[in-house]
A and B are shown apart, each in its own frame.
Chain A
Amino acid sequence: MPTAKQRFTLAAVAVLVLAAASQAAMAQPRTDLVVGMQLEPPHLDPTAGAAGAIKEVTYANLFEPLLRVNADGALIPALAERWSVSDDGLTYRFTLRPNAKFHDGTTADSADVKFTLDRARAADSVNAQKAYFAPIASVETPDPRSVVVTLSRPDGLFLAHMASGDAAIVAPETAATNKQKPVGTGPFKFDRWVAGDRVVLVRNPDYDGPKPALERVSFRFISDPAAQVAALKAGDVDAFTLFSTYEALPEFRNDPAFKVMVGSTEGETILSTNNARKPFDDVRVRRAMAHAIDRKTLIEGVLYGNGVAIGSHFPPHREGYVDLTGMYPYDPAKAKALLAEAGYPNGFDTTLRLPPPPYARRGGELVAAMLAEVGIRAKIEPVEWAAWLEKTFKGKDYDLTLIAHTEPLDIDIYARPDYYFNYKSERFNALNDELNRTQDQAKRNALYGEEQRVLAEDAVNGFLFMLPSVTVQKANLTGLWVNRPVQANDVTGAAWR
C-alpha cells in the first residue's frame, strides 16, 4: 500500500526535522534552566500552605520575606535592607529597600509589610505557621520605609521565622489571587503554570537588586523515580533537586556530563515514639530501642550511604550541635537486657506506621527487622499522607512511626504541649523558656546543646539520620544550593558556565 508507505516516510522525516531542530537550539548560549522537582505545588501562595513544593518554587525567586536565608543558612537582607533589635528583645525595626516594587508595578512599602504580618496573625488566618507570628503584639509604620514590630514576649527565633517563606511579603491587592497568579517582589516573576507539568518564571526586568543571570526558569514536576532518571538522561531537565532515587547516583557520578551534590536538609529523620503509651512510657524500653538500631546499616540501606547519623534532634551542620551519636551504640545484647529489666524479657508486639516517602518505607522495613532482633515485633502499617496526618499527627493514635521533621531549628516541638510525641519534661521546657529569652548567640548555642542532651538521655524518639539534599545537575551549571537550610530552590544565583 503506497499511501501507508508515504505516510511512514513523512512521519520519519518529521521526526528527523524535530530532532535536528532541538539540537540546533542546544548550540545557542543558554539563559534558561529547567529544574526537576518531585511534587507539584497545590498552589503558589507560600503564606497559605505547608506543602514544601510551594516554597521550592517561590522562595527568594518570586516572593521575598523581610530577610531571607542564603545557601549557608545565614540570614541576609531581602525586602528589608537592614534591621535592629532592642536590648530587651521586644522591639524589631526593619528598614525596607528604597525602590522595591511588586511585579504588578506597585511600590512595596511598610503598609504591605503591616498587612502581611497582620493577615498572618489574624483570627481567620490560614497561615501554615501561624505560631511564628503569635509573639507579635503590634506592627507600626512610622514611614513608608520603616516597620516597627513589637513582641509581647522575647522570641529568639523571631528573625529566623520572619525569613521563612510563610512570612513572604504580599500586597493587599493581590493576596487573594496569589495562589494562581503570584505577585511578589523577587528577582523572578510568574510567567505561566502548565498544570500538572511545569511552572515557568521569567526574569523581573524592574528588580531593584542584582539581576539574576537566567532569563527563564521552569520547574518541572516528575513524581515517578524512573521518569526522573529518564528526564535527566534525556536532557529534559537540567537539574533535579531533592533527588531521592539514591540507587541511581553511581550512574550519574560516573557520567562526566553530570554533577552530583550531596548536602543536608533540615530534616531530622526519627523513629517517632508515643511516649505516653505503654511500654514506651518506660525510658528503659526507649533506650533499648536506641541500642537496637544500627544507624550505619540503616543509612547504607535507605540512603545508599548518602546521609549523616544523628544522636538527638539537631542537624550536625548547625552551630550549637553536640555529637551524641555515641550515647547508645548499636548493642542488641544490651537492648535485650534493658527490655528484660523493664519487664519484657520476651519482647512485645507493636505497630510501626509508615508514611509514603521512600526513606520512610525503606527505613521502616529495616528498623522493624532490627527491632525484631531484640524481640520487639513491629507490624508495619503503610499509610498515605492524609491518613498519617489524621491518625498519627493529629489523633496521636500510634505506637511508632518514621518521619523526617523538615522545619529548620524545630527542637522546640519537644516543648509543645499536646505534640504527637506525648513527651513531657520540666527540664526541657525550662531550657526552652530560657532559650526564648536569650539573644546572645554563644549562650543560645550552649542551651541548644543542653536541650539535645536532655532529649538523648530521655531517648524520646529513635534519632536516625539527617535527610540528605541530593542534587543531580548538568556539570556546567553553577549556583544551585548544596544544602537546604530552608525549603527552597533558590535559582537567583544560578548560571551556565
Chain B
Amino acid sequence: MLAFLLHRLVSLIVTVWLATIVVFAVLQLVPGDPALLMLGTGAQPDTLAALRAQMGLDLPVLTRYLHWAGALAHGDLGVSLTYARPVTELVAERLAVTLPLALLALAVSTAAAIPLGLLAASRRGRGGDWAVLGFAQLGVSMPSFWIAILLILLFSLTLHWFPAGGFPGWGGGVGPALHALVLPALALALPEAAILARVTRTAVLDTLGEDHVRTARAKGVGRAAVLLRHALPNALIPVATVLGLQISFLVAGAVVVENVFTLPGLGRLLYQAIGQRDLIVVQGVVVLLALFVVVVSALVDIACALADPRPRAAS
C-alpha cells in the first residue's frame, strides 16, 4: 500500500510540474500584450515600455518562468497584472463561490441519482425504470446553461422566488448567499444526476447478476436487503469512479453556469483573466485546477484500492 501511495504522489508532482510548463509555454505563444490591453488605443510607446517594466514583462522568458515557478513552489501565486492584488487572495475569494456551488451540486446530484438508480434497477423493464431512464436521457441531452435559462425563466422572471443572477457575498449572511446559489446548483446538478443515475442503475444491475447476490437470494434474504446490503456496496465502486470524474466536470461546468448566473466564481475569474491576458492569474488558476483534478483522481484511486484489493495486489 505504501509503495502504491508513493507512486501516486510522485506522479502527482510530475503531472503538476508538467502543467506549469505547458500553461506557461502556451501563454507565451498566444498573441496579446497585457500592458497594451491595459493602456488601449491611446497607448504611447514610452508608456507601454514603462508599464511593461512595471509588470516585469521586459525580463527574458526563462527568467520569468523561473521566478514564477520558484515562487509557486513556496505557495506564492504572484500578483495579478490587472487587478494588482495577490492571486491567492483572488482565488480564495472566488473559491468561496465555486466550491460551495460545486459541493451543493454534488450533494444534490448524488442524493437524487443513487436512489433513482436503485429504483430503476429494482424495477428493471417496468414503468419506474422507464421513467428514470427517460429523465436520465433528458438530463444528459440538456446542457447546464440551457437548464439554467429555463430555471431563470420559471423561478426568477415568473415566480420571482430567486434572483436571476449575481452573488451578494458571504459577508451579508449565509441565507442570502445560499439563496443565490440554489438555481445555479440545480442547473449544474441535473445533468450530473442524470449521468450518475444511469451509472448506478447499470452497476446495480451488474452486481444483481453476480454469484454472491444469487446466493443471498437463495438464502432467502429479502429484496430490499439484497439491493441495499449486497448489490449497492459492490455497485458503489464504479459509481465512485464516475463521481470522482464528475467532481472535475462540476468545477469545469461551473465556468459556464457562473457566466449565465453572473456568479463571481473561479471560472469567471479565469475567463476574464484570459481575455485581459492577465498571465499571472491564468497560470495560477490553471495550475491549481490541474492540481485539484490530479488530487481528486488520486483520492478516487486510493478509495477504490481500499474498497477493492484486486488492482493493488496486481500492481
Query: Is A226's CB under 8 angstroms from B260's CB?
Result: yes
Assembly CA distance A386 to B27 (angstroms): 12
Known pairs A51-B40, A196-B269; A43 contacts B164 (CB<8 A): no
B32 within 8 A of A: yes
Inter-subunit contact B39/A196 (CB<8 Å): no
From A127, A180, A233, A394, contact of B84 by CB (8 A): A180
Complex formed: what's the CA distance from A236 to B183 in Å? 15
What 1/0 mask marks residues of chain A from 120 to 132 whose CB sits below 8 Å from any chain B CB? 0001111111110
Tell me the complex Cα distance, A233–B152, Å: 11
Verify A386–B275 contact, CB threshold 8 A: yes
| Any A CB within 8 A of the CB of B302 | no
Q: How many A residues have CB within 8 A of the partner chain?
A: 50
User: Is residue B38 contacting chain A, with contact meaning CB distance below 8 A?
Assistant: yes
Interface centre among A51, A194, A405 (most CB of B within 10 A): A194
The answer on a CB contact under 8 Å between A50 and B50 is no
Which chain B residue shows the least CB distance to A407?
B42
Report, as a range, how many residues of chain B touch the other chain: 35 or more
Q: Is the CB of B160 within 8 A of A195?
A: no
Contact between B41 and A405, CB atoms less than 8 A apart: yes
Q: B53 — nearest CB in chain A belongs to which residue?
A: A124
> Is B42 a contact partner of A231 (Cβ separation < 8 A)?
no
Q: Per-residue CB proximity of B1-14 to A under 8 Å, as 1/0?
A: 00000000000000
> B82 touching A43 by the CB < 8 A rule?
yes
A234 to B183, CA, bound (A): 14
Check B164 against A236 for contact (C-beta < 8 Å): yes
Cβ–Cβ < 8 Å partners of A223 in chain B: 259, 262
Q: Give residues 246-260 of B contacting A (CB, 8 Å).
A: 259-260
B217 close to A (CB within 8 Å): no
Per-residue contact bits, chain B 85-102, to A (CB 8 Å; 1 contact, 0 not): 100001001100100000
Q: Digitize A230-269: 1 where CB-to-B-CB distance is under 8 Å, 0 elsewhere.
A: 1101111000000000000000000000000000000000
Q: Is the CB of B32 within 8 A of A231?
A: no
User: B94 to chain A: which residues have CB within 8 Å?
Assistant: 195-196
B179 touches A195 (CB 8 A): no
**CA of A358 to CA of B222 in the docked complex: distance in angstroms?**
63
- Closest residue of chain A to B170, judged by CB? A194
Footprint of A on B, CB under 8 Å? 30-34, 36-44, 46-47, 50-51, 53-54, 82-85, 90, 93-94, 97, 149, 152, 156-157, 160-169, 175, 179, 259-265, 268-269, 272, 275-277
**Top-6 shortest CB links A-B:** A196-B264, A386-B32, A50-B40, A234-B164, A42-B82, A230-B164
Contacts beyond the supplied A15-B162, A128-B47, A385-B32: 15 A-B pairs with Cβ under 8 Å? A19-B161, A42-B38, A50-B40, A50-B42, A123-B46, A123-B50, A129-B42, A195-B83, A196-B97, A222-B166, A224-B259, A234-B156, A236-B166, A384-B275, A389-B32
